[in-house]
Amino acid sequence: MIWNPERECAEREQMHALQSRQLSAMIQRMYDHVPFYREQLKERGIEPGDIRSVDQLKLLPFTTKTDLRENYPFGLFTVHQNEVVRIHASSGTTGKPTVVGYTQQDINIWAEVVARSLTMANIHCGDTIQIAYGYGPFTGGLGLHYGAEKVGATVIPISSGNTKKQLQFMTDFNATILACTPSYAAHLGESILKEGISPKDIKLRAGVFGAEPWSNEMRREIEKLLHIKAYDIYGLSEVIGPGVSMECECQCGNHVFEDHFIPEIIHPETLEVLPDGEMGELVFTTVSKEAMPLLRYRTRDLTRLHREKCDCGRTLVRMEKCLGRTDDMLIIRGVNVFPSQVESVLMEMSETSPHYQLIVRRENNLDTLEVLVEIDEKNWSDSIRELEGIRRRIDQNIKSLLGISAIIRLVEPNSIERSEGKAKRIIDHRNKGV
């Protein structure tokens, strides 16, 4: 079933016309109400009436996270405070939080795109969805919530954490769908085994996972642990929250709801727009948002776009699973390394658990990468020779994938800290005098 076939299966020309109309109206609103954008447009000699087609996007200025911080808290709002019905904020590791506001119409659109997303994963009335994303200023919990109610599913708004209670609710309330970060899904899967819960008491059949980059190998690991089909949902609070794009049953990339969020791929340094199929930084223009529309927002996520029609019948452009965030990219001795690449090597091996950490140091002006790999309970053996064999295989596979060698350190089962939200995969000691 397709939630909104008119939009999700629209002809390209129809979509182009809709996007162009919305973009033109959005530029007018920004020009009238947001001094930051008015200045930006004036600097480029652009009058609102000049923009009539989505093909002119490339003439328009970018927005970055720094722009959001500099206009903290409400400087980018295009509506009066009394039209804002909700505010979310993401904590960010440094500096001020990033604030986003929603009008009632924005909340309705958010519920609509999440309803489309859940329908893509064949989730509907009759399903019970356990939402183990955090509820609060983070957009994960409440974002999924309204869309899940819209499709008529029964919602368990348990929020993140408290693993014992998660398992109790999952079994007692017969949850069929789990929504959380992929790293927490893996942790819940392990906890089910550890608690000795019988598989027949778990009714889960699918999971909706996102909020952190995860590899296809991690997907298979989670599917094996929880006996479910695992779907990737993508979103970020600046754009709306979860529901910017979602995988359909074909699982060949996430369909972007481009009638609301127009994607582009740019070269992260030259900023030029790259053609479909090329890897670069994902940029979104949120053409239908009322409270805080963003023009060409740089997500720092690296991916590719594909426009061929999908077997599911949807014509919406697809984005590949994100390779990672440019912020998470490590440069080790001149080589670009993403945690997801290391993850793909580790998850292909049956002896490793889905928990790992990358530790980067600089010693004698040389970068070193250490990979902590947690070994699966049943493979944790006293035989040094067996463990050494596993270590050597990881070492070789990482070297052949990345082209650099890493220090591989095997650690005992359950020794890497578990996360209830986004996992901490990288510890970078460089420039900290360590």
Tokens 């582009």 appear where? 264
CB closer to Zn ion out of 9 and 372: 9
Alpha-carbon distance of 333 to 368, in angstroms, equals 8
Kindly report the number of other CB atoms within 10 A of residue 354's CB atom.
25
Kindly report the number of other CB atoms within 10 A of residue 363's CB atom.
9
CB closer to Zn ion out of 314 and 321: 314
Contact 123, 208 (CB under 8 A): yes
Binding residues for Zn ion restricted to 79-98, rule: CB under 5 A: none
Binding residues for Zn ion restricted to 188-207, rule: CB under 5 A: none
Binding residues for Zn ion restricted to 355-384, rule: CB under 5 A: none
CB closer to Zn ion out of 214 and 231: 231
Count of H-run helices and E-run strands, the chain: 11, 21
Alpha-carbon distance of 424 to 133, in angstroms, equals 16
CB closer to Zn ion out of 206 and 408: 206
User: Measured from the CB of residue 333, what is the shortest distance to Zn ion in angstroms?
Assistant: 40
User: Measured from the CB of residue 293, what is the shortest distance to Zn ion in angstroms?
Assistant: 27
248 lines the binding site for Zn ion (CB under 5 A): yes
User: Measured from the CB of residue 248, what is the shortest distance to Zn ion in angstroms?
Assistant: 3
User: From the list 2, 250, 372, 426, which residue makes contact with Zn ion (rule: CB under 5 A)?
Assistant: 250
Alpha-carbon distance of 30 to 60, in angstroms, equals 12
103, 202, 210, 292, 362 from 289: Cα distances, Å: 8, 39, 22, 6, 45
171, 194, 261 from 198: Cα distances, Å: 10, 11, 43
Contact 235, 143 (CB under 8 A): yes
Q: Which contiguous run of DSSP H or E holds residue 207?
A: strand 206-209
Binding residues for Zn ion restricted to 303-332, rule: CB under 5 A: 310, 312, 314
CB closer to Zn ion out of 17 and 312: 312
Kindly report the number of other CB atoms within 10 A of residue 196's CB atom.
6
Name the amino acid, one letter, at 110. W
* Tokens, residue 7: 């939009």
156, 168, 235, 247 from 320: Cα distances, Å: 30, 35, 13, 10
User: Measured from the CB of residue 143, what is the shortest distance to Zn ion in angstroms?
Assistant: 21
CB closer to Zn ion out of 310 and 332: 310
Name the amino acid, one letter, at 264. E
Listed residue (255, 276, 257, 184) closest to 225, CA to CA: 184
Backbone dihedral angles phi then psi of residue 314, each to the nearest 5 degrees: -80, 145
User: Measured from the CB of residue 310, what is the shortest distance to Zn ion in angstroms?
Assistant: 3
Binding mask 264-303 for Zn ion (x = CB under 5 A): ----------------------------------------
User: Measured from the CB of residue 64, what is the shortest distance to Zn ion in angstroms?
Assistant: 31
User: Measured from the CB of residue 314, what is the shortest distance to Zn ion in angstroms?
Assistant: 5
Question: How many residues belong to the site for Zn ion (CB under 5 A)?
Answer: 5
CB closer to Zn ion out of 248 and 295: 248
CB closer to Zn ion out of 35 and 313: 313
CB closer to Zn ion out of 9 and 250: 250
User: Measured from the CB of residue 19, what is the shortest distance to Zn ion in angstroms?
Assistant: 20
CB closer to Zn ion out of 116 and 314: 314
User: Measured from the CB of residue 194, what is the shortest distance to Zn ion in angstroms?
Assistant: 36
The interface region with Zn ion, picked from 88-96, 98-106, 250-258, 383-391 by CB under 5 A, is 250-258
Give the count of alpha carbons within 13 A of 209, CB side only: 28
Alpha-carbon distance of 293 to 296, in angstroms, equals 10
Q: Which contiguous run of DSSP H or E holds residue 366?
A: strand 366-375
User: Measured from the CB of residue 282, what is the shortest distance to Zn ion in angstroms?
Assistant: 18
Binding mask 207-246 for Zn ion (x = CB under 5 A): ----------------------------------------
Per CB under 5 A, residues contacting Zn ion are: 248, 250, 310, 312, 314
